[in-house]
Structure 1
Amino acid sequence: MNYIKRAMENTFLRLAKEFPALLLTGPRQTGKTTMLQKLAAEEKIGRNYVTLDDLTERQMAKNDPKMFLQIHKPPVFIDEVQYAPELFSYIKIHIDRHHRPGDFWLTGSQVFKLMDGVQESLAGRVGLLHMSPMSQAESCGADTTPFILDLEQLTRRVRERNPLDTPALYERIFRGGMPALVSGQYTDHRALYSSYISTYLDRDVKEISGTINSLRFMDFITAAAALCGQMLNYKTIADAAGIDQLTAKGWLGILERLGIIFYLHPYANNMLKRMVTKPKLYFYDCGLVAYLTKWSDSATLMNGAMSGAILENFVVSEIIKSYQNYGREAFIYYYRDKDTKEIDILLEDSGKLYPMEIKKTATPQKQLTRVFNVIDKATLERGTGAVLCTTDRLSAFDSENLIIPIWGI
């Protein structure tokens, strides 16, 4: 498989010079181990490598973590560290004793905020990064800086990429961001995602939750995928999967913990009244959504009932990834009030709110930007607005509202 340079490489190396430990989390098969093995080989310092997928190593790490670290001495790369949270206290002791940047490179297939033991043991000592499936910027070797509504930066982004028409954009969405598909190692979309669910996702879900009905869980995650880009509704998902709402809530928590889904929360501001409180549900990888919802090909998806929702999911996930890869948090929300006025994305940056609409059209109308007026009463200043759409070039309605091609995000 040809290695595709990951946007996070420079961020990881920069933080490795500052933090004694770095924890890179994210779903399986997104390239965490491959990237760190490449970076470790380039270090040329003989960094030790051990994976806790190896049951013998895992048993030692859990039962005798002190001995484990005597055998696998820093600088060390410990893969799938979530299996032995017992290590964290001993890593803390080593860090407090030696204070060497880069001693511990750690990966985990769970989101760090939800990983047992990290916050308590390594607070202030560990740099945290999250790797999602590949962004479109990574797949075409283009600018991977955080996405902002700055005309100069946007001009630079679109110059580095080849324009896509709508069918080609949906082919990119349908294919998804798994490195094995993007690199061409695998060409069978269905076979890869089927194997991914049965080999990795099913195993990790059972690791977290214990006994679980695999068929019911498949119905559940399919129901969740069908509601991507929509406000979270436990009852709808539960009814479709034949489970109760409490179980649906717990299983969504597992998907979030495994880095499969994330939420966009409504923008909260007491100057803006009558707002909804439910988050919206998104998947990090649209290829997984397309597989789960059983679209046969990208053309069918483009013309189907989910075309708008999956396009919105793609846009939101691409923006989130652009910040993750840079080691920054994206302060991104949506707006919807009880009068059904809605703004797809509100990006908060440098004291301003940047409103964005997502539309499946190559010729957007300026009236789409009228809804942006609803945030004029917010405490933060309203910044440049934009319609993100399937147009073939970067342009603008006026000095305050841009038209941005989705392939340029």
Structure 2
Amino acid sequence: MTEPGLFLQRYKPPLLIDEIQMAPKLLPYIKMYVDGHGNNGDFWLTGSHAFDLMENVTESLAGRIAIVHLLGFSHAEVAGLGAGAFVPEEKFLLQRAQEAEILPMRDLFGQIWRGSMPALNNASEQDWNNYYSSYVQTFLQRDVRALTQVNDELQFYRFLCAAASYTGSMINYAALAKEAEITAPTAKQWLKVLAAAGLVYLLEPFMHPNLKYGVKAPKVYFTDTGLAAYLLRWSNAEILEAGAMSSSFLETWAVMEIYKSFSNCGQIPPLGYYRDFNSREVELVLNVDGSIHPLAIRKSSSPVKETKKFDILRPVIEGERALKLGAGGVICFANDLLPIDARNWYIPAGLL
């Protein structure tokens, strides 16, 4: 764009400008317009080149913008369910049970394998392999080349595939580096690149002064399960469901659905996990309004004794910085929303 000033004379706000990173010269003029008029919502700027977009926009429009990171479709959006942050309290769960279908395992893994990309969830017959092949090539050739610390696309692709094998797991940088044939510091830096690009989400451990024996490494989740399935060569949903990583993919899907439920409401997702040195783990801990809500995630129709593990969180209800122990549950393939005890529920995965 050679005449950004004329552009804003020709097209008056409110404006939606797509791929704004292609027209960085517009940003100073947008800044001047915003400073002169002060109307919220005059400009909606979207773009798919995460690195250049964020660098240019945040430098040019600091203090004048609200940034929204858009992930793929959530299950609630695809199924037409009501909006709302997922907190496993009775009122929310009963409402969701009235409007949502109980998805059989086969159907849910079909959704997990397909992924959350809009192009794969509309009426068109989009080829799954071709879509993700093009997606990965575009990411490698466009976004990765923009980063000076990545010089070898093939090596980065091997790292990307190795990282996908860790989805739903606590990250081990040394092991990841060995698989990708790079150094551990490089693996750590490249994982940050994936997080900055929105391809992975790093779930930090839930911390509290009374919990003294928890591990401190994050868990890694691919934000799109379809992409992870493509990178690991799971060729269809049936093979994925029967494979060794099915539980990890279910956990990845469940965590990202709950993440999206908060993010789509404009909230910072208050998520963490807790694992002690005896390998007892609560897969997800929601810290909401002074209460913690523990959630287990199991590929089972009737998991037993899962809520016993929630006892490892009991120390947080004591002391000066005490939190309440709120409602929790087990996300699984139960045939209905069912109470386990006075506080916890069996939560069918389709209710997410």
* TM-score greater than 0.5 by the shorter chain: yes
Closer, same or farther: CA 208–90 of 1 in aligned 2, 3 Å: farther
Distance 2:330 2:11 in 1: 52
Question: Is the CA contact (8 Å cut-off) linking 1:82 and 1:116 kept in structure 2?
Answer: no
Match of 2:312 in 1: 374
Question: Is the CA contact (8 Å cut-off) linking 2:50 and 2:143 kept in structure 1?
Answer: no
Q: Tell me, yes or no, if structure 1 residue 134 matches structure 2 residue 73.
A: yes
Question: Is the CA contact (8 Å cut-off) linking 2:202 and 2:219 kept in structure 1?
Answer: yes
Question: Is the CA contact (8 Å cut-off) linking 2:144 and 2:150 kept in structure 1?
Answer: no
Secondary structure, aligned partner of 1:197: helix
Question: Is the CA contact (8 Å cut-off) linking 2:150 and 2:156 kept in structure 1?
Answer: no
Secondary structure, aligned partner of 1:268: coil
Match of 1:16 in 2: none
Q: Where do residues 284-323 of structure 1 align in structure 2 (5 Å cutoff)?
A: 284-323=223-262
Distance 2:195 2:173 in 1: 15
Question: Is the CA contact (8 Å cut-off) linking 1:165 and 1:390 kept in structure 2?
Answer: yes
Deviation at 1:210, TM superposition (A): 7.6
Question: Is the CA contact (8 Å cut-off) linking 1:358 and 1:389 kept in structure 2?
Answer: yes
Match of 1:105 in 2: 44
Q: Tell me, yes or no, if structure 1 residue 401 matches structure 2 residue 344.
A: yes
Question: Is the CA contact (8 Å cut-off) linking 1:114 and 1:257 kept in structure 2?
Answer: no
Identity of aligned residues (%): 40
Distance 2:168 2:86 in 1: 20
Secondary structure, aligned partner of 1:357: strand
Match of 1:38 in 2: none
Taking only aligned residues, the RMSD between alpha carbons, in angstroms, comes to: 2.3
Match of 1:196 in 2: 135
Secondary structure, aligned partner of 1:130: coil
Per-residue CA deviation, residues 313-337 of structure 1 (Å, 9 max, x unaligned), is 0000001111121211111000112
Match of 1:39 in 2: none
Q: Tell me, yes or no, if structure 1 residue 248 matches structure 2 residue 187.
A: yes
> Which runs of 5 or more residues in structure 1 are unaligned?
1-56
Q: Where do residues 348-359 of structure 1 align in structure 2 (5 Å cutoff)?
A: 348-359=287-298
> Which runs of 5 or more residues in structure 2 are unaligned?
317-321
Per-residue CA deviation, residues 244-273 of structure 1 (Å, 9 max, x unaligned), is 223322322221122111110001111110
Question: Is the CA contact (8 Å cut-off) linking 2:21 and 2:52 kept in structure 1?
Answer: no
Distance 1:70 1:248 in 2: 48
Q: Tell me, yes or no, if structure 1 residue 206 matches structure 2 residue 145.
A: yes
Distance 1:267 1:339 in 2: 16
Q: Where do residues 9-408 of structure 1 align in structure 2 (5 Å cutoff)?
A: 57=1, 60=2, 69=8, 73-82=12-21, 87-109=26-48, 115-209=54-148, 212-365=151-304, 367-378=305-316, 379-408=322-351
The aligned amino acid for 2:79 is C
Per-residue CA deviation, residues 294-348 of structure 1 (Å, 9 max, x unaligned), is 1121111111110111110000000111112121111100011222221100001
Question: Is the CA contact (8 Å cut-off) linking 1:275 and 1:338 kept in structure 2?
Answer: yes
Worse overlay, 180-189 or 145-154: 180-189
Secondary structure, aligned partner of 2:169: coil
The aligned amino acid for 1:100 is N
Closer, same or farther: CA 82–209 of 1 in aligned 2, 3 Å: farther
Per-residue CA deviation, residues 6-37 of structure 1 (Å, 9 max, x unaligned), is xxxxxxxxxxxxxxxxxxxxxxxxxxxxxxxx
Question: Is the CA contact (8 Å cut-off) linking 1:109 and 1:258 kept in structure 2?
Answer: no
Question: Is the CA contact (8 Å cut-off) linking 1:112 and 1:118 kept in structure 2?
Answer: no
Worse overlay, 117-126 or 397-406: 117-126
Deviation at 1:69, TM superposition (A): 4.6
Q: TM-score, normalised by structure 2?
A: 0.91
Question: Is the CA contact (8 Å cut-off) linking 2:205 and 2:218 kept in structure 1?
Answer: yes
Question: Is the CA contact (8 Å cut-off) linking 1:266 and 1:279 kept in structure 2?
Answer: yes
Distance 2:37 2:29 in 1: 12
Per-residue CA deviation, residues 99-130 of structure 1 (Å, 9 max, x unaligned), is 12211101133669992254454344212212
Distance 1:220 1:239 in 2: 10
Number of aligned positions between the proteins: 347
Distance 1:67 1:278 in 2: 52
Distance 1:137 1:113 in 2: 31
Per-residue CA deviation, residues 271-305 of structure 1 (Å, 9 max, x unaligned), is 11022111111111101111111112111111111
